Structure 1
């Protein structure tokens, strides 16, 4: 069904572009929510248990976190976030996400795009197209594994790092 996959592939980006166009030039509730969520040094993090990882053998990420970087606020972004993840094998990767008012974030060094959305007190992070982050080497593309969506929980700043 090649025709179906082509249509499906283009529907989501088209909807995203339409939504972005509707929000262009105005402060949206989502943008305010993202900025407010990261106020006061809050950290959104998740560490996966050995049991969870055993049940999800295709998942590479063992720990992930996001926090605001108050020293970096370039014009035109709702928030600049520092994020990091550790793979099962212990390799550590850290980068920055430059988040627009529509909830989409580009990662430093053309490492891919993610989307952040609130889920009650929690934060949902979804990979949009790919996510490759530089560390001692380059991370695997998390879009090519069972690491496309993360639900992160709020905690103190000390939970990030």
Structure 2
């Protein structure tokens, strides 16, 4: 499970939001062996040192299995899940010496054609197997048929080489795990160790900034900052939605917010005395707004829809703006200078809320 980098295709992508404490809402047959009442189910085990000493070929020191909605992902900027919500099962294991778990998600169903009888098999994307399951007479979950290369891509052995492959795969005794039933909150706490949420970030931008709400974020850089960042062209920057932007969304689909939202960016550079502005057309993507330059304000000769910036919530009410591909109006967006990655300090900006008057044209 990987995420995009801040300055590659954006700030990073989360999956869909965890629906804490809820039962399943889809129409797939329920695994009553795991969850007799249809609620989320958790099983886990933390192995003692004595057990691990007696099983030197077992790498897994902690293992948790969760039957329920996604327990990993953060609330994101999309109004509805972008990922496959049919995943109903998740497994996290922590090997000896590791600080955080690795995890996989997939589908667990009965092996019969109608999904109501037979053994429980858990599959993942690309026709791979996560594990098989059964519940013993004491209610413990037996997890078996665990593949050693569970967390590796297909063809990893050839790519990594034998020595590195053996180091990364699970051990020869990492199978036949016997897990105890636990409260659902225990599994959620375990999965939260994978990618902890920073409470300072607060709610997503789509919740913080409403469709009919004007806003203004910006920053003015002083001489000391600019002196220590000689590659930064931007002297002042504003990101805002005002009357024009609000009017353009007046008939928009509020349920899909922020898809279709216009934002305007105004920049003053060291070389220019006046402001240069550009409108961007945004959509939610993971935990960011992905905003493409719009031709509404100017008649461009190039396809400026390929010029993008990314907005993301910052800590303590701030907004982060990423400019990975020379997409800010600090140069002509169609010029040769604007092609390729930004080669200066004008890549990431931390913006603070400002009065609407600070973003007035």
Normalised to the residue count of structure 2, the TM-score between the two structures is 0.35
| Aligned-pair CA distance for 1:41 | 2.6
| Aligned-pair CA distance for 1:34 | 6.1
Aligned-partner Cα distance in 1 for 2:80–2:309: 21
* SS of structure 2 residue aligned to 1:53: helix
Unaligned runs of 5+ in 2: 17-72, 83-202, 296-303
Q: Is the 8 A contact 1:124 1:152 kept in 2?
A: yes
| Alignment correspondent of 2:142 | none
* SS of structure 1 residue aligned to 2:248: coil
Q: Is the 8 A contact 2:212 2:246 kept in 1?
A: no
Q: Which runs of 4+ in 1 moved over 4 A?
A: 15-20, 22-25
| Alignment correspondent of 2:268 | 86
2:337 counterpart of 1:138: no
2:206 counterpart of 1:32: yes
RMSD value, Cα: 3.5
Report which of the two structures shows the higher radius of gyration computed on alpha carbons.
2
Structure in which a larger fraction of residues adopt strand: 1
Q: Is the 8 A contact 2:311 2:319 kept in 1?
A: yes
Q: Is the 8 A contact 1:46 1:65 kept in 2?
A: yes
Aligned-partner Cα distance in 2 for 1:104–1:157: 23
| Aligned-pair CA distance for 1:89 | 1.7
Q: Is the 8 A contact 1:31 1:100 kept in 2?
A: no
Task: Specify which structure has the bigger relative contact order, considering alpha-carbon pairs within 8 angstroms and separated by 6 or more residues.
Answer: 1
Correspondences of 1:4-153 after superposition (within 5 Å): 12-13=8-9, 26=80, 30=204, 32-33=206-207, 35-36=209-210, 40-68=213-241, 69-73=245-249, 77-90=259-272, 91-102=274-285, 103-109=289-295, 110=304, 112-119=307-314, 120-131=316-327, 133=329, 138=332, 141=338, 143-153=342-352
Aligned-partner Cα distance in 2 for 1:85–1:126: 14
In the comparison of the two structures, how many residue pairs are matched? 148
Normalised to the residue count of structure 1, the TM-score between the two structures is 0.72
